[in-house]
């Protein structure tokens, strides 16, 4: 039996994984007809029937399913090995939430860089959770309850929602519940939740921003009051840049900010250093509150 080409094997693995020629072509960045040609070549080389049908949704034979699973796992191992080898120079690609990056991480980065000068962080922000098994990131910072299958998740801190505003604006208003409300589109439950906890009437925001970080920036400028996780603005509160109104007792939020990574990626020394530094910084902040 002739040996099939790696391109044909990869095309089959991605077709089996995604369930369609279109899905495989997207992953491999080739046309569906190119994928179809490679699959035809593979079946001829192996002298095996791997597909029952190859329409919009590819259906595999039993042999095809077994081969697809084994090949997908093998290519995942190859990709992981290449990623690990390529990051010996110290690059750690991080997908993070923009509010976490802007309000919490950036002010602390000089501390990390001074300790780990051989590590270069490549930081990217986005609203959707990235697929760490398919996208070029070693780790991510996610917001949620920590229940992500196949990922190792480490809690940095749970949400502690508070109302923040410019201190002068807060002092000038005898009724803080009447402050203009600034909202984040990504956290539409923020104001109803904290208003209920504070016993304030519900009211519509005057401005809605894309993220909490932008709402906080507007609050700092004296436009109104915003709801934010206290952990993200603890330094701004300590410096007197912002003032807070916190519910008593605090809201027991189930969600929080987590460091997540595929378990095998944590073999990368620089990634472990970044994770451990995040944990240390988050622990230090909790102890100082």
Name every residue whose Cβ is closer than 8 Å to that of residue 231 and which is 6 or more positions away in sequence: 104, 157, 159, 160, 257, 282, 285, 286
Whether the predicted model's global pTM rises above the 0.85 cut:
no
Kindly report, residue by residue over 41-72, the tens digit of the pLDDT: 999 999 989 988 766 677 899 999 999 999 99
Mean pLDDT of 221-236: 96
Rounded percentage of the chain residues whose pLDDT exceeds 90: 73
The domain segmentation of the chain, as residue ranges, is 6-86, 91-159+255-288, 161-245
Decide if domain 6-86 falls under CATH 1.10.10.10.
Answer: yes
Q: Give the right CATH number for 91-159+255-288 from 3.40.50.300, 3.40.190.10, 1.10.260.30, 2.60.40.10.
A: 3.40.190.10
Confidence band, pLDDT 50/70/90 cuts, at residue 91: confident
CA distance 13 to 187: 39
Confidence band, pLDDT 50/70/90 cuts, at residue 135: confident
Measured between its terminal Cα atoms, the distance across the chain in Å is 68
What per-residue confidence (pLDDT) applies to 88? 55
Greatest Cα pair distance, the chain, in angstroms, is 85
CATH of the domain spanning 161-245: 3.40.190.10
Kindly report, residue by residue over 67-87, the tens digit of the pLDDT: 999 999 999 888 877 766 665
Higher-pLDDT residue of 87, 39: 39
């Amino acid at each position: 039996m002739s040996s099939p080409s790696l391109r044909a094997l990869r095309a089959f693995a991605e077709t089996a994984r995604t369930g369609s020629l279109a899905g495989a072509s997207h992953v491999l960045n080739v046309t569906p007809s190119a994928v179809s040609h490679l699959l035809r070549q593979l079946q001829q080389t192996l002298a095996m029937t791997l597909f029952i049908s190859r329409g919009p949704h590819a259906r595999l034979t039993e042999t095809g399913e077994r081969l697809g699973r084994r090949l997908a796992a093998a290519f995942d191992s190859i990709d992981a090995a290449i990623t690990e080898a390529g990051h010996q120079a110290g690059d750690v690609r991080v997908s993070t939430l923009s509010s976490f990056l802007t309000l919490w991480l950036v002010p602390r980065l000089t501390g990390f860089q001074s300790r780990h000068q051989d590590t270069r962080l490549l930081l990217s922000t986005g609203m959707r959770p990235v697929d760490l098994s398919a996208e070029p990131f070693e780790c991510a910072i996610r917001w949620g309850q920590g229940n992500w299958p196949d990922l190792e998740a480490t809690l940095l801190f749970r949400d502690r929602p508070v109302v923040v505003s410019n201190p002068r604006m807060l002092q000038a208003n005898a009724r803080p519940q009447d402050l203009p409300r600034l909202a984040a589109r990504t956290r539409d439950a923020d104001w109803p939740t904290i208003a209920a906890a504070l016993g304030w009437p519900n009211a519509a925001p005057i401005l809605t921003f894309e993220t909490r970080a932008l709402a906080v920036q507007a609050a700092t400028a004296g436009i109104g009051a915003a709801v934010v996780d206290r952990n993200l603005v603890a330094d701004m509160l300590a410096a007197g840049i912002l003032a807070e109104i916190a519910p008593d007792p605090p809201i027991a939020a189930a969600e929080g900010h987590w460091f997540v990574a595929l378990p095998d990626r944590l073999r990368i020394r620089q990634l472990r250093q970044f994770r451990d530094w995040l944990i240390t910084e988050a622990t230090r902040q909790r102890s100082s509150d």
